[in-house]
Each structure stands twice: as structure tokens, then as C-alpha cells.
RNA sequence: GCGCCCGUAGCUCAAUAGGAUAGAGCAUCGGAUUUCUAAUCCGAGGGCUGUGGGUUCGACUCCCACCGGGCGCGCCA
């Protein structure tokens, strides 16, 4: 039941031991080299040149003498001093066994040791439909949440609703205008109001519920009602979009509640005691400059309302009080200016430096008919996430969002996504999964018995080897994708795994009536691939079909 | 003007904490199926990794300058 270590780690350990025997200890790497250089390779001899004060190739020769063993079919020196390892079949076969034994648990580790962390993403103004930019954020967030769970963290995810502030007043008034239109009462939606058609539908629903109760009437109380009604409608809409995306949040957190429950005032009091705020021009300012080389920022406006900065500090205070040891915020790159002052605020509250990590992603631009579309919620003209899902489907949309590293801008060509959706690499990966399902259906038909875990010792030709090596990488990739906050590492991996499988499938006959043992061995290997692909797609929130 | 991010094949992107001959897919051209799904596989062409310097055994990767694009520099969020 004890799983083996990654082969790479095993090699590294062995080398380390040999170095210790020679009285040396320094950093070096074991990696997967380009083709034709063996299975694994190390730069240990090259890095060691300064430590041994001898030429790399000479060092390599000594090391190789001490490394020889059953695990390796061959160890060779190449190029300027690389040591290339070709590992034994039996070592690779153990990976297959491990995958089959652990199934969907394969890849789980306990690096997190139950550390309580939180991911906040897809946070939005509840003033309109979610955009494709939110879609990108949802996929990045969802995937990281699942990855961190795999790695043994206690993870929660949360959406922050900016349900306070001026934009909500504008939303309420815009809805009121639409509502009155239904009675023939004409009013103008302000320039910076919400002119999208969706508010007409909300207005109709409201009219069905309350009739002409608010026709032509407007006061503070009515404004409150319209705010509550509109925000609730927008929130329900958001939830339905999340559901369409296959996304689920543990909690929706209201910005407004931070004012109402006194958290904001509590923070202000604390800052006052610490002499970190001052009054100027009727507003309350936070001494950002006390912590970093940036200008001070307003916390409370002249009119007494808190700024976004203020409530966000309160929100993060709240997170900390709830017991999260680390929080990750996923923001669009247009928020990057917000990072230093938030960090300063965290410091002011006495939180550890690494309490808050911000994961930034570049924006999504849309292209349609060769033209770039600029999205604007207020103007009411944009492609919504709902529309995108309608056109390309959940799997393709999610995979596409995951596929580009968050640090790169994502250029979403809608025409291409619609027209050539079958070219989307998600199908390439899914197809490998479906193909394997089909293999097992065929095996039953051909009366080829599948015995899990048997005949693995027959695996070892070059196609099988490359599949086994790729399987061995999976655990490492999960860690890497989590560390770099990059689901794209996972999609690249899956495409490569699908690729080596397709090659294996093309060149080796898997179901062979004249050789049941070999058939069973290859079915086992296929099964292992299927388990890993399914798991990988699962982490991305993409389905793994049995048939295509 | 200042700050952050990005620049790799015609297009969309890789390149595993500085490593070997910079790789895939799409597109183009040419092949592969009487047998497990051809949504696949094999092959060909296509590159001064934006430009110029620097660091070292070695640079797409690190440093400096510049060019080009995105974003930010609110009592907006």
C-alpha cells in the first residue's frame, strides 16, 4: 500500500547520497531531457565543477560508478557533462500499479497539513450579467481550489459582492426608470446608469409582483426597496450563471454587511488608536506612506461613506477573524494598484506578511468578425458569460479559460470558438478518454478478460515507456500548477498525456486474441491513463465522456 | 511622466526555478484505416525568442536601456 516516490525524486536522493559519501553537498537538478537523451538527466556533474574543482565529465564518470544499480538500464555521460539515466522497466511499471491502486486518490498529498485557506474570486458588482472575464476568473479559482484540496489544504471559496456604494444607487434608479416605462411614465436613465435590456425584464417581474405601487413615486424608502430588489435579482442571476459554469461557492459575502455589523467602525477605531489615520479636507485618510512608498488613501469620504479600500480592509479583517491562515484573492490586472495598499493595511492590522496573496490575471478580450469588442457593463453592450456558454458549451469554455496562463492576456475569438469548436484541444484530451472506454467495451465483446494489476511486467516498449513516464509526472504537475497558480500547467500536461497515449494506441495493438497476457498488460496501462485523464479533467471542471 | 504585466513559427500557445538540436496545436503540403473510434497517427515546410548591450562554461529564462501592446496612477470599484 505504501506508494513509491516519484522516480525523479528517487534518482535525486540516490545522487545526493553518493555526493555525501564524497563529502559534498550542493544543489543540482534531475529533469526530463529532450528525446533521445534517456528518461531522466542530471546536471549534477556540471554544477559540481566548482565544488570538486575538476572537469564535469570526470566528475560524471566517478558518480556513475557509484550510481549503478538495478533501477537503471543504463547511465551515460553526454554533452558538456550531463548524466543521462535510462530507468528499468520495473520501476516504470510501479507507477502504473500505483495509479491503479489509488485511482482517483492518485496525486493526493499532504503538503498543506490542513492549513485553513480561502480563495476569493469572481467578486463582482451585482449590477448586471457576468462577463467572460469573470468566466476566466471562475475557472482559475475553481481549479486552484480543487488543487489545494488535493494538496491537503482545508479550502473554502467565496464571492465578495460589492452591494454597497454608488453603483447600487444607480442600479436601483435605473430599475425604477424601467419599471415606470411599463406604465408609460418617461424618465431618463442617467449617463452612468445601467441601460442594459435585462433591467426591463426585472422591471416586468417587479410589476407582476407589486403592480403600480411605485409608479411615479421616489423617496429614500422606495430607493432602499429598489436597491434590495435589484441586488437580489442580480445575485440570483449570478448564481444561475455559476451553476451553468459548474461552479459552486461556499459563501457569498456582502460588502454592505461590513458597515452594518460595525466591522468598518471597529477598524477605524483601531487605526485611530494606532495613529494611522488623519482627517484632511473632511475625509479620513489612511497613512499608507507609513508602510510603503505610496500616497495616502481615503478610507471615509467627506459624505461619511466608506471607500472600497476601507470595506476591503474590513473584509480581510473578517477573513482573518474567521480563522483563515492564508487567503488568496484572484483579481483582474486592473486592480494591481490596489495590492500595495492592501498589503500595507494588512501590516497595519498586524497580520503576517504572507496572509494575503493576490493572484492577478490579465484581461479577456473578445473578438468577433475580426473586430475587438470593448466590454462595458454600464453601456449594456457586451458578450455575457451566459451567451458564451450557450455558444461553445461548458467544457470548451472552461478548458479554453484554463489553458492560457493567467499572466497572459486571453484573446477569445468567438467566431473561432463557435465555428471550429471541434478543434478545441479539450476534444483531443476527451477523445483519449473516450477511446479508452471504447477499448474496454471492445475487450468484453472480444472476450478478452481484464484483470486489474496483472501482467504489468510485460510493459516496456518505447511507446509504453513514454506513457508510463508521463503518468509518473502527474503528482509533480499538480504541485507545480498550485505553486504557480496556473491551471495551464495542467492542461499542457493532459494534452501531452493524451498525445503519448494516442501514439501508443496507434503503434501497439492493444486487444489481441492471440496474446491475452499482452492485451491485459496494455489494458492496464490504458486504464491508468484513463484514471489520470479523468482526474485531471475533473480538476478543471471538464467532463470526461465515455463516448464521443 | 511614474509603476505593474506581456512580447516566442502566418495564428493560438509550450519550454519543468539558467541547460543539450526552442516544442505542440491550428493553418498549408504529402502520407497512413479489410483489424481496438481517423475528433487519431506519420512526415515536410515555417524562428536572429521585439531591438541593442551585459552577467557565465551555458540565456527565451537573470540585469540595464530602448521599441511595441495592455493595465494602473480617483473622496470609482
Q: Is residue A156 part of a domain?
A: no
Q: Which nucleotide is nearest to A546 (CA to C1')?
A: B37
Confidence class for position A2, pLDDT limits 50, 70, 90: very low
SS3 state at A111: coil
SS3 state at A85: strand
CA distances from A378 to A190, A238, A329, A457 (A): 10, 17, 25, 64
Q: Which nucleotide is nearest to A519 (CA to C1')?
A: B36
Q: Are A129 and A233 in contact (CB under 8 A)?
A: no
Q: Is residue A192 part of a domain?
A: yes
CA of A459 to C1' of B40 (A): 22
> What is the value of ipTM here, to two decimals?
0.94
Q: Is residue A300 classed exposed, middle or buried when 0-12, 13-18 and 19+ CB atoms within 10 A define those classes? A: buried
Residues A443 and A449: their CA atoms lie apart, in Å, by 7
CA of A308 to C1' of B76 (A): 8
Give the model confidence (pLDDT) of A446-455 as tens digits: 999 999 999 9
Q: Which residues of A60-94 are buried (b: 16+ CB within 10 A; e: fewer)?
A: beebbeebeeebbeebebeeebbbbbebbbebbbb
Residues A493 and A479: their CA atoms lie apart, in Å, by 12
Q: Which nucleotide is nearest to A166 (CA to C1')?
A: B76
Q: Is residue A478 part of a domain?
A: yes
Check pLDDT > 50 for residue A426: yes
CA of A124 to C1' of B77 (A): 9
CA of A201 to C1' of B1 (A): 47
pLDDT at residue A350, as a whole number: 95
- On whether both A178 and A74 belong to a single domain, the answer is no
The closest alpha carbon to A481, from A140, A157, A99, A154, belongs to A140
pLDDT at residue A95, as a whole number: 92
Q: Which nucleotide is nearest to A403 (CA to C1')?
A: B13
Q: Is residue A473 part of a domain?
A: yes
pLDDT at residue A227, as a whole number: 96
Check pLDDT > 90 for residue A116: yes
* pLDDT > 70 in chain A, percent: 95
Among A91-95, A118-122, A366-370, A386-390, the minimum mean pLDDT is found in: A366-370
Give the model confidence (pLDDT) of A484-539 as tens digits: 999 999 999 999 999 999 999 999 999 999 999 999 999 999 999 999 999 999 99
- On whether both A176 and A80 belong to a single domain, the answer is no
Q: Per-residue pLDDT averaged across A344-366, rounded?
A: 92
CA of A339 to C1' of B37 (A): 51
pLDDT at residue A363, as a whole number: 86
pLDDT at residue A373, as a whole number: 63
Q: Which residue is nearest to nucleotide B58 (CA to C1')?
A: A80
Q: Is residue A352 part of a domain?
A: no
CA of A350 to C1' of B73 (A): 27
CA of A76 to C1' of B57 (A): 20
For residue A129 the three cell numbers come to 450579467
CA of A337 to C1' of B1 (A): 17
Check which CATH number belongs to the domain holding A478 and give it: 1.10.730.10
Among the candidates A193, A225, A245, a domain finishes at A245
The closest alpha carbon to A540, from A384, A430, A389, A466, belongs to A430
Check pLDDT > 90 for residue A220: yes
Q: Are A482 and A148 in contact (CB under 8 A)?
A: yes
Check which CATH number belongs to the domain holding A66 and give it: 3.30.1360.70
The closest alpha carbon to A171, from A230, A252, A253, A218, belongs to A230
Which DSSP category does A381 fall into? B
Q: Which domain holds residue A206?
A: 166-245
CA of A366 to C1' of B77 (A): 22
Q: Is residue A309 part of a domain?
A: no
Q: Which residue is nearest to nucleotide B77 (CA to C1')?
A: A308
Give the model confidence (pLDDT) of A28-69 as tens digits: 888 878 767 888 889 898 888 777 878 888 888 889 988 888
Q: Which nucleotide is nearest to A255 (CA to C1')?
A: B77
- On whether both A429 and A524 belong to a single domain, the answer is yes
- On whether both A528 and A428 belong to a single domain, the answer is yes
Give the model confidence (pLDDT) of A236-276 as tens digits: 999 999 999 999 999 999 999 999 999 999 999 999 999 99
Q: Is residue A341 part of a domain?
A: no
The closest alpha carbon to A455, from A535, A531, A526, belongs to A526
Q: Which nucleotide is nearest to A435 (CA to C1')?
A: B37
Among the candidates A227, A245, A263, a domain finishes at A245
CA of A423 to C1' of B42 (A): 20
Q: Which nucleotide is nearest to A433 (CA to C1')?
A: B37
Positions of strand B less than 7 angstroms from a protein CB: 3-7, 12-17, 19-21, 23-27, 35-42, 57, 70-77
- On whether both A523 and A429 belong to a single domain, the answer is yes
Report H helices in A372-448: 385-392, 394-403, 414-419, 425-445
Among the candidates A68, A87, A106, a domain finishes at A87
Q: Is residue A332 part of a domain?
A: no
- On whether both A171 and A80 belong to a single domain, the answer is no
pLDDT at residue A1, as a whole number: 27
* Domain total of chain A: 3
Q: Which nucleotide is nearest to A410 (CA to C1')?
A: B12
Amino acid at each position: 500500500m505504501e506508494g513509491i516516490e516519484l522516480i525523479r525524486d528517487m534518482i535525486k536522493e540516490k545522487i545526493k547520497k553518493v555526493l555525501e559519501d564524497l563529502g559534498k553537498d550542493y544543489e543540482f537538478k534531475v529533469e526530463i531531457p529532450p528525446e533521445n537523451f534517456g528518461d531522466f538527466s542530471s546536471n549534477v556533474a556540471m554544477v559540481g565543477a566548482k565544488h570538486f574543482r575538476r572537469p564535469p565529465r570526470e566528475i560524471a564518470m566517478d558518480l556513475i560508478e557509484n550510481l549503478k544499480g538495478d533501477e537503471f538500464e543504463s547511465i551515460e555521460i553526454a554533452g558538456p557533462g550531463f548524466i543521462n539515466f535510462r530507468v528499468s522497466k520495473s520501476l516504470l511499471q510501479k507507477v502504473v500499479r500505483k495509479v491503479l491502486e489509488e485511482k482517483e486518490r492518485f496525486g493526493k498529498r499532504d503538503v498543506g497539513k490542513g492549513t485553513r485557506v480561502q480563495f476569493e474570486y469572481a467578486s463582482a458588482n451585482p449590477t448586471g450579467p457576468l462577463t467572460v472575464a469573470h468566466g476566466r476568473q471562475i475557472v482559475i479559482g475553481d481549479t486552484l481550489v480543487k488543487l489545494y484540496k488535493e494538496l491537503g489544504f482545508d479550502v473554502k471559496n467565496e464571492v465578495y459582492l460589492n452591494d454597497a456604494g454608488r453603483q447600487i444607487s444607480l442600479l436601483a434608479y435605473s430599475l425604477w426608470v424601467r419599471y415606470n416605462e411599463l406604465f408609460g411614465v418617461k424618465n431618463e436613465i442617467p449617463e452612468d446608469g445601467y441601460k442594459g435590456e435585462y433591467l426591463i425584464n426585472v422591471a416586468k417581474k417587479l410589476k407582476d409582483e407589486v403592480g403600480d405601487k411605485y409608479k411615479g413615486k421616489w423617496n429614500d424608502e422606495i430607493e432602499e426597496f429598489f436597491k434590495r430588489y435589484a441586488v437580489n435579482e442580480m445575485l440570483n442571476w449570478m448564481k444561475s450563471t455559476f451553476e451553468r459554469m459548474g461552479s459552486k461557492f461556499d459563501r457569498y459575502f456582502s460588502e454592505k454587511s461590513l458597515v452594518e455589523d460595525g466591522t468598518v467602525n471597529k477598524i477605524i477605531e483601531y487605526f485611530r488608536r494606532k495613529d494611522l489615520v488623519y482627517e484632511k479636507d473632511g475625509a479620513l485618510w489612511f497613512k499608507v506612506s507609513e508602510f510603503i512608498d505610496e500616497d495616502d488613501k481615503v478610507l471615509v469620504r467627506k459624505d461619511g461613506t466608506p471607500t472600497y479600500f476601507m470595506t476591503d480592509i474590513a473584509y480581510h479583517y473578517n477573513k482573518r477573524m474567521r480563522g483563515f491562515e492564508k487567503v488568496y484573492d484572484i483579481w483582474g490586472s486592473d486592480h494591481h494598484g490596489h495590492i500595495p495598499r492592501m498589503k500595507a493595511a494588512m501590516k497595519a492590522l498586524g497580520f503576517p506578511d504572507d496572509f494575503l496573496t493576490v493572484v492577478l490575471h490579465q484581461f479577456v478580450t473578445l473578438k468577433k468578425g475580426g473586430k475587438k469588442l470593448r466590454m462595458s457593463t454600464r453601456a449594456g453592450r457586451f458578450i455575457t458569460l451566459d451567451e458564451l456558454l450557450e455558444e461553445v458549451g461548458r467544457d470548451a469554455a472552461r478548458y479554453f479559460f484554463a489553458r492560457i496562463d493567467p499572466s497572459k492576456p486571453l484573446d477569445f475569438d468567438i467566431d473561432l470558438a463557435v465555428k471550429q469548436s471541434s478543434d478545441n484541444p479539450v476534444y483531443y484530451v476527451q477523445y483519449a478518454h473516450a477511446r479508452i472506454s471504447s477499448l474496454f467495451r471492445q475487450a468484453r465483446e472480444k472476450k478478452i478478460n481484464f484483470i486489474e494489476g496483472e501482467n504489468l511486467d510485460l510493459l516496456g516498449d518505447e511507446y509504453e515507456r513514454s506513457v508510463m513516464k508521463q503518468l509518473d509526472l502527474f503528482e509533480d504537475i499538480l504541485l507545480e500548477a498550485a505553486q504557480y497558480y496556473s491551471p495551464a500547467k495542467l492542461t499542457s500536461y493532459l494534452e501531452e498525456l493524451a498525445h503519448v497515449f494516442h501514439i501508443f494506441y496507434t503503434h501497439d495493438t492493444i486487444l489481441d486474441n492471440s496474446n491475452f497476457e499482452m492485451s491485459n498488460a496494455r489494458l492496464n496501462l490504458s486504464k491508468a491513463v484513463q484514471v489520470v485523464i479523468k482526474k485531471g479533467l475533473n480538476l478543471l471542471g471538464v467532463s470526461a465522456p465515455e463516448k464521443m
